[in-house]
Structure 1
Amino acid sequence: MKKFYFLLLAIALFSSTMSAQLIINEVLFDPAPDITGDANGDGTRSASNDEFIELVNSGATALDISGYTIEDSYTATIIRHVVPGNTVLPAGGVYLVFGGGTPTASGTGAGSFGVSTVVVASSGTLGFSNSLEVIIVRDASGTAIATLDASTLSVSTGAKVSVTRSPDITGEFILHPTVNGVAFSPGLKIDGSSVLNIKEDVFAVFAMYPNPVINGELTIISASNGLKKVELFDTSGRSVLQTNLTSNVLNVEAVKSGIYFLKVSQDNNTSTSKVLIK
């Protein structure tokens, strides 16, 4: 019986730790009334479509956020977005939700959205209030794992600019222009760089080359000769390749060119890294 209770406690602690990886990093409650409020980059300013929320996987491992919900609790609690199935956020990855419109990445820096998973609210709107808003993110079981209560912030959520953590992920919320004069940076760090903090070419336990992949083959080596479980995700979090490797060579010839996230598991070790396939 003691073992059973210990197992339940271990599962609960593990679930809590995994959920705690997901952080509300930046929110635009109140887009500016002119074209400068066009946060989603579709060329049209909209009071509802240009609202956004940026969630970051702050953990060192990939996180399956399928079935997670984003709720708006201003006058009543309303589910504004449900994360679709098979959505896996890599370590350091960003899940960016706009109220609506056609999010359009442009160039680099602000407006590029980095390598975020970009979607629009499944309900058709985020419906954020410009004051006294409460945003609740729940996991697939309905447990609240991240909350932002505007009434507790030291800055206004109705200032026509986003509120963002400074420093990203760990800091307190401030008005975005306080740092660099820019109104917002959806999908990016405050300085305009990618939020991803994954090493480009070296795992904690594994090493891979070449990166970028230019000949359809990626070599993955480790100190162990055991089976490697490999999974490749695109930037929307969809799994595009799953295989068990008995050698050190992963064939990706059938995978389209682009940026991907490679998850490798062997023995008791798991690591995720960004890969560019040309």
Structure 2
Amino acid sequence: MVKTAETYHIPVLLKESVDGLNINPDGVYVDVTFGGGGHSREILSRLSPKGHLYSFDQDADAEANICGIDAEEGELSNFTFVRSNFRYLKNWMQYYGVEKIDGLLGDLGVSSHHFDDEQRGFSFRFDAPLDMRMNKRAGKTAAEILQEYDEESLANLFYIYGELKNSRKIAATIVSSRKQKPVLTTKDFQAVVEPLFKREREKKEMAKLFQALRIEVNHEMDALKEMLLGASELLAEGGRLSVITYHSLEDRIVKNIMKTGNIEGKINQDFFGRIETPFKLVNNKVIVPDANEQEQNPRSRSAKLRIAEKK
């Protein structure tokens, strides 16, 4: 059985999200965010040998957590780890010959491990290279984006992904500063932008800034859209989509796909005025962690769980 790497990541809304899948023991399921293996372990505990779980993660650090499979049982025949971005969900399911799945679980955002790893550059708590790549083998680092993007592109990403009202001033300051000295580390970045924030809102605004950079580095919104559209096609009738979000940008996309069947949230109606969508909502109101979980796991405080069933 996969053992959760508790120091890597504490799974959020574990029981609620897996319960939401309404698991058929002989079914085929996908966990698109393996992380520390907590959700995958729970899903596996509810599957028979005839069922199967495919777990995705592009981070090599996450892949190391599959070594918790019990050596006495041997490698589980009903578990497959896929080292890839979940945007390629459809491609990999085709590769494995899977035409339909019975459920998909996603715990979006960043794992506890990434925020706590001093060398990855995800947090302004540590002085580290500005990397922020989930997949350290490919793509531009956050430092390269800050050095190469023009002022308008930087302003747009800070406004759209960070929802920062002073995005243009931030972008102008970065472009001016990098002419004298490259912004290579988290502390370099803080030194440039801190004077632009009021002291009482400094941490909150800095968190938004780091979020915006991380989303751009990892193309998170595009990947999420591709994965959800792929899941919509792959889910069998009665199959469940169980997704945990942490900020308004990703939550809006998940809500739109579940309510309307499209990313934009465009409502299409039939002759009788009924909304045409491939899903029906399992929970009309989002599920949030209880006070006890929020106390034990601060990351869960902004979590929202949405569940939908394929018609």
Q: Considering the TM-score relative to the shorter chain, is it more than 0.5?
A: no
Q: Please identify which structure carries the higher helix content.
A: 2
TM superposition score normalised by structure 2: 0.22
Q: Please identify which structure carries the higher strand content.
A: 1
TM superposition score normalised by structure 1: 0.24
